[in-house]
Structure 1
Amino acid sequence: MKRVYKTALLLGITVLVTSCHNNKSPNYQYFPNMYESAGYETYSESAAFKNGKEGQLPPDGTINRGFEPYEYANTTEGYELAKANSKSPLDSIDRGSEKGKELFEIYCISCHGASGNGKGKLVEREKFLGVPSYKDRVITEGSIFHVVTYGLNSMGSHANQLSAHERWLVADYVLKLKSQL
């Protein structure tokens, strides 16, 4: 008798499982958007943002994380103000460190030369002309930091490559080179 019950139960489960399957009408899908997502054009307008904008802007008055504002403008007047008033925040441990020399050798030596005489490899190969020697210029740590931040003449800005602390280290090393010329 037990065998009849087991056979009937097995047959009932088999009929139940096979009766739900239909090749012409697939089963119900949970979260169908995961399987059949809607395609969007990359730069098309979207209703996901307010007022139909293509993206959202940060609130007014905010700054990026890790960004340090620099109060001097990218003008001749800003350069002169930075030259006169801007002072390095480096402490005595950071001043004269080898890190400033390493950064100078990575970013500056190709144009300004190892001794700061304006005779780097690119100048020797005549890719850039008129790179001044540090000896011939009246420079301060503030003016060096300003020029590395914004660039001047044919020298571009290095603010994206160097943090503010690293730019101060380079300025300190440049003054050290100027004193040795």
Structure 2
Amino acid sequence: MNKKNFLGTVCVAVALSAVVSACGDGTTRSAGWEFSPNMYEPLAFNPDQPNPNFKDNKTAQLPPTGSDPIGFVRFEYPNTTEGYTQAGLEVKSPLAMTDVNLKQGEALFLTYCAVCHGKEGNGDGPLTKDRKVKDSRGERDLEKFPPPPSFHRSAGAKSTRGTVMADLSDGQIFHTITYGYNAMGSHASQLTPDERWKVVMYVHELQKK
């Protein structure tokens, strides 16, 4: 047998032995050799696993006090009446009034605000109307939200905080979008600070009507 045939025979024998040994002996559930076991047996701790690397033996740790997530912008005014009043006096929009910003503010308003405030800011959004749904349980009324006051100066409407809606300042509107008020929930998780300022910009346009 020449050298080439010998090497070929050895390779075949090794491959055959590997295949046979991987198949098991029929008495065990072992699958034989595992390929890349770290892909499904991670070395890192799962969040709910005990972890001896920390004093409390917990993997999921609270962030350090006062730290902010990456990309998070802290709003320093608290969610209180005093914080709302102070924000109304001190906070001004950092964005320039441009056609692009105003157009984006309109799009964001129509997406996130018009369902209650209405497309024109009249407080007549679809969630304030009588609505019904029909499904396997039959026809029933959907929850109806109270209409918010109109932003339009011509309406002369006042907010529940006593301020004329058309006189709401940058800081007052931004504070309300950030924290919510009454039936309106916080939109801080849906809108970035810049997006909130663009909505403020568009609301100021509605106040002129």
* TM-score, scaled relative to structure 1: 0.75
CA displacement, residues 19-65 of structure 1 (integer Å, 9 cap, x when unaligned): 997766x9x95889659959xxx775423541211412333332111
Match in the other structure for 1:133: 150
Equivalent residues of 2:97, 2:201 under 8 A apart = no
In 2, Cα distance between equivalents of 1:103 and 1:19 = 66
Equivalent residues of 2:115, 2:125 under 8 A apart = yes
After superposition, the CA RMSD in angstroms is 3.7
Count residues with an aligned counterpart.
173
One-letter amino acid of the structure 2 residue matched with residue 81 of structure 1: Q
One-letter amino acid of the structure 1 residue matched with residue 184 of structure 2: M
In 1, Cα distance between equivalents of 2:192 and 2:40 = 46
In 1, Cα distance between equivalents of 2:77 and 2:39 = 54
One-letter amino acid of the structure 1 residue matched with residue 146 of structure 2: L
Which of 75, 81, 86 matches 1:70? 75
CA offset at residue 121 of structure 1? 1.7
Structure 1 runs not aligned, ≥5 long: none
2:82 matched to 1:57? no
* TM-score, scaled relative to structure 2: 0.66
2:64 matched to 1:47? no
The 5 A counterparts of 1:151-166 are 151-166=180-195
Shift in CA distance, 68/94, structure 1 to aligned 2, threshold 3 Å: farther
In 1, Cα distance between equivalents of 2:186 and 2:17 = 72
Shift in CA distance, 168/44, structure 1 to aligned 2, threshold 3 Å: closer
Match in the other structure for 2:138: none
Shift in CA distance, 104/9, structure 1 to aligned 2, threshold 3 Å: closer
CA displacement, residues 65-101 of structure 1 (integer Å, 9 cap, x when unaligned): 1101101000010011111111000113368621111
CA offset at residue 129 of structure 1? 1.2
In 2, Cα distance between equivalents of 1:61 and 1:144 = 26
Structure 2 runs not aligned, ≥5 long: 131-142, 158-163
One-letter amino acid of the structure 1 residue matched with residue 148 of structure 2: V
CA offset at residue 105 of structure 1? 0.6
Secondary structure of the 1:58 match is: coil
